[in-house]
Structure 1
Amino acid sequence: MYVASARSPGRTPRVSGRLPGTVFALGTVSLLTDISAEMVTAFLPVYLIYTLQMSYVQFGLIDGLYTGATAVLRLVGGYVSDRTSRPKLVAVFGYGLSAVTKLLFPLAGASSVGIGGVLAVDRAGKGIRTAPRDALISLATPPDQLGTAFGVHRAMDTVGALCGPLLTFLILYQLGSAAGPVFVVSFVFAAIGLVVLLTFVRERRGRVQRKRVSVKAGLDLMRDTKFRRATIAAALLGLVTISDAFVFVVLQKVSDIPVGFLPLLPLGTAAVFLLAAAPIGRMADRFGRWRVFFVGHVLLLVAYVMLLVPQGGFTTAAVALAAHGLFYACTDGVLSAYASGFVPADLRATGLATIQTGQALTRMVSSVVFGVMLAAMAMSTAVITLVVVLVVALVGVAMLVRSA
């Protein structure tokens, strides 16, 4: 049996002690990389929908590609990391690949195919690096502090998500609308993050028993009921999680706030996420990681319901963004902490990648389907359908996990 079941992974002893330096080093890498990424992506909804006049279906396809390009490569990154016992090397390759794409964006011009291709390569780098990075965090952290460690890492990552759009705004304000400086500065931040990873992150190889990890060993993870049901539950909830871009676009249209505020809406989600990630991570360690993960999707339901409030203005937007940010604080990182509690060390990256891949694939499907729904029906009808399906998914997941 590959998954330990002697102790419930959702409940852990009281948290104590300091977090290892690896957590903060990787947090710094993610902070710098996210500044780079968000500098480029913050303006994409405005650029694609309002400048290039793309349809919701086209936007959904590109956004789905942006999300789904990470999916299969998460498995590849996790498997290679476990196979070679070199998670840092695999992470370096992924971060490096994303850094190079920042120099390719100007070559794409106004071509939707070109932009989609560069985004796919960028997300491929993210997919390759995610599981090895999370494995490095989990292997360096005591089991009773996993939620806290991932919460701190995600909080530092979110600092970058806040700073990236603001830096883009300042560059454009000072230097005009030319995109060249944005891409160059974005590349510089990504390169600095890569240097930090190479210099300050250390692998804890002593914590892992070196084995010849095979594809069969990874597939055997799915034989364990606990791991299998957690993977299925995460995938089902991913299927009813539309992309952030759609949340912000629909929120701007429904709340009737000016279009100029659309690029700033992600900052609201990021600010709440930043403030809540570490405290909620500690709460997950104390009260149960899966419980917190589930509550996060209830908060997502609240955010979706706010998309049905017509002309709610900035008040509706504030409530929706607060719920959206708390959703991420309860889920992004908490799921990895939960799985790290029962996936063995020699298969840690593969196990995390498997759960994350199922979630990423279903989120890709949700982006495409919701784009088609917006094109085929009224916006309110599409959102009501989404709310109903999310309620059904929550009930189904609660029954699935409880039966385990």
Structure 2
Amino acid sequence: MTPWRFVVGFGVVSLLADIVYEGARAVTGPYLASLGASAVLVGVITGAGEAFALAGRLVSGPLTDRTRAYWPLAVGGYTLTVTSVPLLGFATGLWSAGVLVIAERAGKAVRSPAKDVLLSHAAGAVGRGRGFAVHEALDQIGALVGPLVVAGILVLSAGDYRPAFFALAIPGVAVLVVLERLLVRVPNPAVYEPTRQAPTAGAGAPTRLPTAYWSYLAFAAATTTGFAGFGLLAFHLATHAIVPLAVVPVVYAAAMVVDALAALLTGWCYDRTGARILLAVPILSALIPPLAFQDQPIPAVVGALLWGAVLGVQESTLRATVADLVPVQRRGTAYGIFAAGSGLAAFAGSALLGLLYSRSLTAVVSITAAIQLVALIIFVTYHLRLRAPNRPRPRGNP
């Protein structure tokens, strides 16, 4: 199997998985609200879920490097995710639903370092930015289809969430089938890695992550702290009746289209210009709250689309840069620590913005702008350190 075929194959896995968990995620805020959650509690639950999804990789990342059990960890994590979502249809109260929301995100913590290492091997042969971007674009097709499916079922079921959650079990089964086929065809994707980056073992293996990596982590954590989650955006859209309930997942789907386009654009730019393209992240993030939290549909939807653009960069180019900053022997750990820092920042940011939202929208806008200014200063200050020393030259075209 060629590197591009492997990248596309893993993209199909993510496409199917996104139908499952992005379909559910599109209505998490309103669903929790229907069970009695306040804005603060929505922020805490969704933030805790993201924290588990990211901070949990402090364990799974080093475990990936130590065991190199890439496929078992990837399959196990996907299994946890695609079973947790349909079980939401059986939830009888707020706390049981909250546990399942967090469990779905925990599945991502288990699989993501291993998945990112598997993908980084193949992407290294075709251009790291483009490889991760194409994977993210396919991923977002699922993120588009899932919310639309949920929206349609909500209309047909008169707002009953259970049939929508049950229907998402079908693509969940398909995820595991495609994973099994990829495993059989390519049991060791490290064969794609350029020779100078091939994994080695023994005393010569590096034990410390480079300074450039830590500088990059500081920037990513800062900008993530000031990034409003869609759970809170959806809560605002639904509880203020800015758009009908069934339209909320449609808005999310539109944001996923923007996500895919932003990933492809920034991935292409990254392979040609390097990390400076990431300057767009704090700038766009600062623009989201003053638009998304208005009471008029047009600016609120524009804010949600900007949210999708920033998420696209975070999920593709931000991840691609990590692989280029660290030696291949430490990639699992690097991805785990990077995600942990980002996850703790996401949790703190979600809880903070949820609290501020319940008190003052002006405070949300001003605090977010201040946080993103700090991120921008960190990026500019350490830009030279963010130059990636391990960027391989891409081969071929998708």
TM class by shorter-chain length? 0.7 to 0.9
- Aligned pair in 2 of structure 1 residues 112, 87: CA closer, same or farther (>3 Å)? same
> Does 2:211 align with 1:225?
yes
Q: CA deviation at 1:318?
A: 4.3
Distance 1:395 1:305 in 2: 21
1:295 correspondence with 2:280: yes
The aligned runs of 1:252-267 (5 Å cut-off) are 256-258=242-244, 261-267=247-253
Q: In 1, are the aligned partners of 2:122 and 2:189 still within 8 Å (CA)?
A: yes
Map 1:4-403 → 2, pairs under 5 A: 20-49=4-33, 51-109=34-92, 111-142=93-124, 145-174=127-156, 177-201=159-183, 202=186, 203-206=188-191, 207=193, 208-211=198-201, 220-221=208-209, 224-250=210-236, 256-258=242-244, 261-288=247-274, 290-307=275-292, 310-314=294-298, 316-375=299-358, 377-402=359-384
Q: Would you say the 8 A contact 2:132–2:267 is kept in 1?
A: yes
Q: Give yes or no for contact 1:79–1:349 (8 Å, CA) kept in 2.
A: yes
Q: Give the TM-score, by structure 1 length.
A: 0.85
Change in 2 beyond 3 A, CA 1:28/1:260: closer
Amino acid at match of 2:133: G
Provide the alpha-carbon RMSD of the alignment: 2.7
How many residues were matched structurally?
A: 377
Measured after TM superposition, the shift of residue 19 of structure 1 is 5.2
Q: Which runs of 5+ in 2 are unaligned?
A: 387-398
1:143-183 deviation line (CA, Å, top 9, x unaligned): 56100011111111111111111112223444555544323
Q: Structure 1 pair 396/251, CA: closer, same or farther in 2 (3 Å)?
A: farther
1:117, CA displacement in angstroms? 1.0
Sort the Cα spacing of 1:254 and 1:294 in 2 relative to 1 into closer, same or farther, 3 A. farther
CA displacement at 1:323 relative to structure 2: 2.4
Greater shift in the superposed pair: 316-325 or 347-356: 316-325
Query: In the TM superposition, what whole-angstrom CA distance separates every residue of 1:293-348 from its partner, at most 9, and x where no partner exists?
Result: 2212211222233246x55432x234323322222233321012111113112221
| 1:7 counterpart residue number | none
For 1:291, the aligned partner's letter is R
Task: Sort the Cα spacing of 1:186 and 1:251 in 2 relative to 1 into closer, same or farther, 3 A.
Answer: closer
Give, in whole Å, the separation in 1 of the partners of 2:255 and 2:44. 23
